[in-house]
Amino acid sequence: MYLQAIPIKGQKYKVYMDETDHYTLGYCDKNDKKIVISNKCPKDKFIATLAHEISHAFIHECFLDQTLDPTQEEIFCEIVSCIIEQFGDFFLDLKEIAFSLKAVQ
Ligand SMILES: [Zn+2]
């Protein structure tokens, strides 16, 4: 199921929910500019999984995948995923605060 396209460093990545193999909740196909989240992904893991796969796309579009080895890339993506999973609500609060600050200026 196609969800939407998201811009990543000037490239549009299409996000889908679809079948994946049994061992992964999602993947990023950098050549086809496609992110797939497993349709078996638990709802409470959806945001973290999407953040992880978006991180892979960012790494690719910033050419960091030319310097990071696959293990380093996975660690980086997991760190981003954990930050979003644990502090996502905090960032939303900050967005509201930032919006209200802009309104004052
Ligand atoms: Zn990964």
Q: Is 5 buried (19+), middle (13-18) or exposed (0-12) by CB count in 10 A? A: middle
Which CATH number characterizes residue 47's domain? Answer: 1.10.10
One-letter identity of residue 77: C
Show the tokens assigned to 20.
Answer: 């994946």
Q: How many angstroms does the Cα of residue 95 sit away from the middle of ligand 1? A: 27
CA atoms within 13 A on the CB side of 52: 19
Q: How many angstroms does the Cα of residue 79 sit away from the middle of ligand 1? A: 11
> What is the sign of the dihedral through the CA atoms of 57, 19, 42 and 71?
negative
Q: Residue 58 and residue 55: Cα distance in Å, rounded?
A: 5
pLDDT tens, residue order, the chain (105 aa) = 999 999 999 999 999 999 998 889 999 999 999 999 999 999 999 999 999 999 999 999 999 999 999 999 999 999 999 999 999 888 888 888 888 887 665
Q: What pLDDT sits at residue 23?
A: 87
Query: What's the CA angle centered on 57, arms 51 and 59, to 5 degrees?
Result: 100
Q: What pLDDT sits at residue 63?
A: 96
Domain containing residue 66: 2-104
Neighbours of ion ligand 1 (CB under 5 A): 74, 77
How many domains is the chain partitioned into structurally? 1
Q: How many angstroms does the Cα of residue 60 sit away from the middle of ligand 1? A: 12
Q: How many angstroms does the Cα of residue 51 sit away from the middle of ligand 1? A: 10
Q: What pLDDT sits at residue 89?
A: 86
Q: Residue 36 and residue 97: Cα distance in Å, rounded?
A: 32
Q: What pLDDT sits at residue 22?
A: 80
